[in-house]
Amino acid sequence: MYSPPHAELRRLCIHQLCFSSCISVAQRPAHHTNTPHISGQLPPQPVTHIRPGLIPQRPLIDCAGLNRVETDPANMGKRPPRTEDTQHSIAELRRRRPRRRRRLLISAALCLALIAGGIAAGSGISAERTNQSALVESTTTPATSTAHNTTTSQAPPRAAIVSIITTTTAVKRPATTIQKQDTVQALESSLCQNFAEDSGVSGAVVVIDPGHQGPADLSYEPIGPGSSTTKYKMSKGTYGTVTGLPESEVNLAISLRLRDELEARGIVAIMTRTSENVNISNIERAQMANEADARLLIRIHCDAFHNSLTHGIHVLYPACIEGWTDDIYLASRRAAQLAQAALVAATNANDRGLCEREDMTGFNWSNVPVIMPELGFMTNPEEDQLLATPTYQQKLAVALAEATVRFLKGE
């Protein structure tokens, strides 16, 4: 390694001073004094003065130990010659320098390209969201206008309804929450309107299913097409805690009144049963509505709970299950909303709201919109007695009939 001239000169001076000191100490004469010598102590040593003219001249070795440098003043300012290894290393570094510069330039270009790509991707996502928002607005406007159209139109085939749901649910993340809610409401109105023959609902088919029956059928059937989960084909139902009436009889009485109210409004009402002495499973009842191409299936039921203080009305509807109920989900939910509102307004009963269910056989096998009003708790003494009276039964029937008409009109 090469050292600058001033550093080399400093090392040379230090080395010469040390060498001359050693020579002077070795060659000094013996001096004797009259001072007695004390055992264990060294005699005093005389001070030797070194003159510059007495310093011998001798060659030195440079710091690398490779080249000899004479003490000639003419050589003291010169750089020692480089060895072949040193020259080779310097040449290699110089050769690699352009390659490193190229690598740095390539890395900088790649970073700039990545930044530009990220900016372009962000712009593309913003443009895509803008297009999706425009698509949502374009689909909302005709759907809303269709909901208020009063001209006669025939109900579309089932494949067309599935196509509508598939197309509309493919729109992702509307621009705002309000826009999303408006879109869902517009889709519900559009689908409900497609199930109605005209604004007068004349000739529309509605199937009424009085829940349960006289004899129970505790054999099993799958809760949905291809499902390994099974439930009873038809359970017995509950009993009135005060009246002792079986639920199946109360359900049938209310259903017969509902049939009369629907027929009085020009609607074709089909009953799954008209007596207690039948044995019809839940799958068979849903298939009856499918074969009749009904606009709505209403499953009349009453409720029960271990706490006798529990009371009120709530309406069940199918959860959205792909391949089973996804094509009837929105229309069923709209029918449930209308039914719940009408029932609570007519009876002043406790409003227990709506409930999605995915484990109901009568829902999962249905190809038409379906709801299941739970009209009261027969385990509650007050509601049990009300459900047994013709007046209260008529209130329930009229409320359901009015809600059905509104649903068929596409409201």
**Span 18-40, average pLDDT:** 50
**Span 366-384, average pLDDT:** 98
Alpha-carbon distance of 9 to 18, in angstroms, equals 15
Average confidence score pLDDT of the chain = 76
Q: Are 255 and 271 in contact (CB under 8 A)?
A: yes
Residue 183: what pLDDT?
A: 52
Alpha-carbon distance of 267 to 201, in angstroms, equals 7
Lowest mean pLDDT among 59-63, 310-314, 329-333: 59-63
Between 67 and 188, the higher pLDDT residue: 188
Assess whether pLDDT exceeds 50 at residue 111. Answer: yes
Residue 127: what pLDDT?
A: 62
Question: What are residue 356's DSSP bridge partners?
Answer: 317
In this structure, is the dihedral angle defined by the CA atoms of residues 96, 101, 105 and 111, taken in order, positive or negative?
positive
Residue 17: what pLDDT?
A: 59
Residue 354: what pLDDT?
A: 98
CATH 3.30.479.20 fits domain 205-408: no
Residue 125: what pLDDT?
A: 62
Between 83 and 178, the higher pLDDT residue: 83
The helix/strand/coil state of 234 is strand
Res. 131 pLDDT band, cuts 50 70 90? low
Assess whether pLDDT exceeds 80 at residue 147. Answer: no
**Span 128-137, average pLDDT:** 54
Going by C-beta distance under 8 Å and a sequence separation of 6 or more, which residues neighbour residue 161?
191, 194, 327
Please give the full DSSP string across 84-105, using - where no structure is assigned. Answer: HHHHHHHHHHHHHHHHHHHHHH
**Span 21-30, average pLDDT:** 51
**Span 305-333, average pLDDT:** 97
Residue range 285-298, pLDDT digits in tens: 999 999 999 999 99
Hey, where are the domains in the chain? 5-32+40-81, 105-194, 205-408
For residue 239, the 8-state DSSP code is B
* Most confident range, picked from 44-58, 82-96, 395-409: 395-409
Residue 290: what pLDDT?
A: 97
Res. 8 pLDDT band, cuts 50 70 90? low
Assess whether pLDDT exceeds 50 at residue 151. Answer: no
Q: Are 286 and 297 in contact (CB under 8 A)?
A: yes
Q: How far is CA 166 from the centre of its chain?
A: 20
Residue range 167-181, pLDDT digits in tens: 433 333 333 344 445
The helix/strand/coil state of 143 is helix
Alpha-carbon distance of 120 to 399, in angstroms, equals 58
Q: Which amino acid is at 372?
A: M
Extract the tokens encoding 36. Answer: 């007695």
Q: Which residue has the tokens 């570094």?
A: 93
**Span 251-280, average pLDDT:** 97
Residue 238: what pLDDT?
A: 97
pLDDT exceeding 90 applies to what percent of the chain?
51
Between CA 179 and CA 182, with CA 407 as vertex, the angle to 5 degrees is: 0
